[in-house]
Amino acid sequence: MATSTTQRTGSCLCGAIQLKIAGEPLFTNLCHCISCQKSTGTILASVAAFKPEQLEYTVTPPDVLKTYVDGSPLSGSTLERSFCSICGSRVRNEATRRKGVMAVVPTGIIDGDKAGLKPRFEFFCKNREEWVAKVEGSREFVLSAQTMADLGL
């Protein structure tokens, strides 16, 4: 795991999957795409992106970490959505075209104060519900699969 002065921890709801995070995220964002809405069961996903080497997972028992391969994202990239098979908490997403370069962690599983995890970007804003306010200071994107590829996401 990378060394850094900023250290965070996190876990799934039942605690079977523990997470240590070293350093600051590459970026933080909200995603309003339909795939994120369906996979979270909410109207948006709040996530933080890290280099995989910044993340250290401890899974007890080892077989509870499961992955669903999602071919539906509007980003145009297949997403590996990892979750705890005991409690169902999502713990990591990785786009196949960014595998080994970037992993996304739902901010809700990160422990403690989340002030430093305020979203800097909002993706797929055309799907944002009209009663959900824009995050002050964030950049908004109305994206397509091509735009996501152009951004390297």
Residue 83 CA to residue 75 CA, distance in Å, equals: 20
Q: Summarize the confidence of residues 126-150 as an average pLDDT.
A: 82
Q: How does pLDDT run across 14-69, given as a tens digit for each residue?
A: 999 999 999 999 999 999 999 999 999 999 999 999 999 999 999 988 899 999 99
Q: Summarize the confidence of residues 137-149 as an average pLDDT.
A: 73
Domain ranges in the chain are 7-151
Maximal C-alpha separation, the chain: 42
Identify the pLDDT of residue 29.
94
Instruction: Looking at the structure, give the CATH architecture of the domain made up of residues 7-151.
Output: Alpha-Beta Complex (3.90)
Identify the pLDDT of residue 86.
97
Mean pLDDT of the chain: 89
Residue 144 has pLDDT above 70, yes or no: no
Identify the pLDDT of residue 150.
64
Identify the pLDDT of residue 142.
80
Q: Greater confidence, 148 or 130?
A: 130
Q: Summarize the confidence of residues 92-121 as an average pLDDT.
A: 92
Q: Summarize the confidence of residues 112-140 as an average pLDDT.
A: 92
